Amino acid sequence: MGVVGEAGRRDAGRYAGVTALGLVSAALALALPYALGHTLDQLLRGAAAGWWIAGCGALVAAQTAAAAGEDLLAGLATARAAATVRRRTVRHMLAAGPPAAGQGTGDLVTRVVGNAADAAVTPAAAAALPAALAAPVGGIVALGLTDIWLAAAFLAGAPLLTLLVQRFARASSDCVTAYQNAQGRIATLLVEALGGARTIAAAGSEQRETARILGPLPELGSHGRRMWRVQGRATAQAAVLVPLLQLTVLAVGGIRLSAGALSVGDLLAASRYVLLATGIGVVVGQLGAVVKGRAAAARVDEVLAVPVPAYGERQLPEDGAGTLELRGVTAVRGAETVLDGLDLTVPGGSCVAVVGRSGAGKSVLAALAGRLADPDAGTVLLDGCPLPELTATGLRDAVGYAFERPALLGDTVADTIAFGPRPLPPDHVTRGALAAEADAFVRLLPDGYATARNQAPFSGGEVQRLGLARAFAHPTRLLVLDDATSSLDTVTESRVAQALFHPPTPRTRLLTTHRPATAARADLVAWLDSGRIRALAPHETLWAIPEYRELFGGGDGG
């Protein structure tokens, strides 16, 4: 069962304890009717029954203790399984990168939170099934040992009970899976809408978005009602069938009692055994948990099936200058070839600006440069080493990123800037903030760099500067900036340019931009057109080409 099965095997001892204690509890439940019946017969005969009464009390106490122990072990094992499933799923999603988000962010959250919890119940529910089945089977056997006619009366209706359980398991499996899928689609739409709440409000399209988000709701309601109908039908059928079976067995028992084949105590025991034998509710409940858990586990396993990029064991040469090469790189997104056999060399220590029309593939190229994604064909090399051959740690130490809309992570502002593969000294944090023109507004915060990140309101430009500070603070040999200065005003961008285009320590810089002033400051400009590099030259050289000027709206060239 994938990750749930692994979690079950890892905690096999606890699940074995759940099964063992459940079977002990079932055995004690089967022993109690005999003890009660014998005690009653002793009392009716006027014989001493003190020890039998004490034995009945001991059986009740032992059964209570076994059931409590079973619940405790099941709870502990389920909690550990849920933690294991969630930890493994989150790690896999982060390792797989953007492809893992193909299901949608909201759907992923649903799978990691709700589905993981449901899936984690499966091993405990499966471990409890033997005991859930042992009680009815044991009850039937005990009826036969008490009187064969009692067992025969019960077995006459047993096939109907078996059919009821089978139909419930089959019908509930289909509707539970469909319900969880519809739930995931609603969650995805909701997360998307929350991310664009300001845009929705500005456009006055709240009602239309509400209708779009709740579009799958009728389907969800349909599957939910079907689940209740299946549950209700099974309960109603059991509510009719179980009492009929019990009455039939008790009627036969009364006849056998009048014939002298049974004692009053035997009839009391039989009345308890038939209750155990018709324990369809317990079996259906456990089966329902297993069915729901298996459906949830299948949704979690779909996330874990997304391939994770493989890394090698190779290390970058220590004397490498950070030369970046893309050889025959092709990237396909959907049905469109975004990059088509692209060749580009970024000399070590230089700064190359990538420009092109909207949708030309600039961000795709930036992602491939540091292996945030792999090309569909071709090779990306850093200092002569193909990126897939490098170790994961070596690659992340060597390549830094800054994005147009960076995600601020960490508990404090200092954590946000220091966020990376290795701990960063405080002086590096401050140096990065100074280079990104972020130090001034950070020091105005209540606790400066120690201010809790989620309590510091930042503008779009300030968020972008913190992303730049993080990139500047880490000593990488290649720095990739994907439109990372787009929200900066002209004055701030000019100040940041000093650290970007004249770094204190040499490193290669690849940046995507739509600003002519930024392109003009770069050593070279890579003009991306129709999936290939149309030209690689200084900005002033390319400015003489009318089509190049059109990329910037016919500006003055910066």
Identify the pLDDT of residue 388. Answer: 95
pLDDT exceeds cutoff 90 at 270:
no
Pairing of strands 351-355, 524-529: parallel
Q: How far apart are CA 557 and CA 540, in angstroms?
A: 8
pLDDT of residue 169: 61
d(CA 365, CA 352): 12
Is 316's pLDDT higher than 90?
yes
Could you report the per-residue pLDDT of 30-89, keeping only the tens digit for each?
999 999 988 988 888 888 888 989 999 999 999 999 999 999 998 998 888 888 888 888
Helix axes 12-44, 116-146, angle to 10 degrees: 30
Of residues 247 and 195, more confidently modeled? 247
Residue 558 is predicted with a pLDDT of 46
pLDDT of 410 = 86
Model confidence pLDDT, tens digit, residues 301-313: 888 888 888 899 9
pLDDT at 222: 83
Q: What is the pLDDT of residue 102?
A: 52
Task: Determine the Cα angle at 255 with ends 252 and 258, to 5°.
Answer: 150
Q: Tell which phi-psi region holds residue 231, choosing left (phi > 0), alpha (psi between -120 and 50) or beta.
A: alpha
- List Cβ neighbours of 538 (8 Å cut-off, separation of 6 or more): 523, 524, 525
Distances (CA, A) of 310 to 307, 318, 520: 9, 23, 38
Confidence of residue 170 (pLDDT cuts 50, 70, 90): low
Of 290 and 361, which is predicted with more confidence?
361
Res. 106: pLDDT tops 80:
no
pLDDT at 237 over 80: no
pLDDT in tens, 18-41: 999 999 999 999 999 999 988 988
Q: Give the pLDDT confidence score for residue 81 in this predicted structure.
A: 87
The radius of gyration computed from the CA coordinates of the chain, to the nearest angstrom, equals: 35
pLDDT tens per residue, range 504-523: 788 999 999 988 988 999 99
Which tens digit of pLDDT belongs to each residue from 450-482?
Answer: 999 888 888 888 999 999 999 999 989 999 999
Question: What is the average pLDDT across 305-329?
Answer: 91
Q: How far is CA 118 from CA 111, 471, 498, in A?
A: 10, 40, 54
Per-residue CA distances from 369 to 155, 172, 400, 401, 532 (Å): 71, 48, 10, 10, 15
pLDDT at residue number 101: 44
429-434's contacts with Cβ under 8 Å and 24+ in sequence apart are 429/469, 429/473, 431/472, 431/473, 432/468, 432/469, 432/470, 432/471, 432/472, 432/473, 432/474, 433/466, 433/469, 433/473
| Cα–Cα distance measured from residue 490 to residue 517, given in angstroms and rounded to the nearest whole number | 9
Name the token pair of 140.
């039937």
Whether residue 203 contacts residue 119, with contact meaning beta carbons closer than 8 Å, is answered with: no
Angle at 374 between CA 523 and CA 396, to 5 degrees: 65
Give the pLDDT confidence of 377-388 residue by residue, as tens digits: 999 999 999 999
Identify the pLDDT of residue 240: 66
At residue 171 the predicted structure's pLDDT band, cuts being 50, 70 and 90, is low
Question: What's the one-letter identity of residue 124?
Answer: A
Query: In this predicted structure, what is the pLDDT of residue 164?
Result: 65
Average the pLDDT over 530-541 and give the result: 94
| Other beta carbons less than 10 A from residue 311's beta carbon | 17
Q: Average pLDDT over the chain, rounded to whole?
A: 85
Lowest mean pLDDT among 130-139, 200-209, 320-329: 200-209
Q: What is the pLDDT of residue 238?
A: 66
Structural domains of the chain ordered from first start = 3-179+227-304 (1.20.1560.10), 324-550 (3.40.50.300)
Residue 98 pLDDT: 60
Burial label for 285, CB within 10 Å (0-12, 13-18, 19+), is middle
E-strand spans in 407-522? 478-482, 508-512
What digits encode the pLDDT tens for the residues 217-228? 888 888 778 877
Q: Region 474-502: what's the mean pLDDT?
A: 86
The tokens describing 340, both together, are: 């088509």
What mean pLDDT is predicted for residues 8-13?
81
| 115 Cβ contact partners less than 8 Å away, ≥ 6 residues apart | 180, 296, 297, 299, 300
Q: Above 80 in pLDDT, residue 177?
A: no
135-159 mean pLDDT: 85
Whether pLDDT at 191 is above 80: no
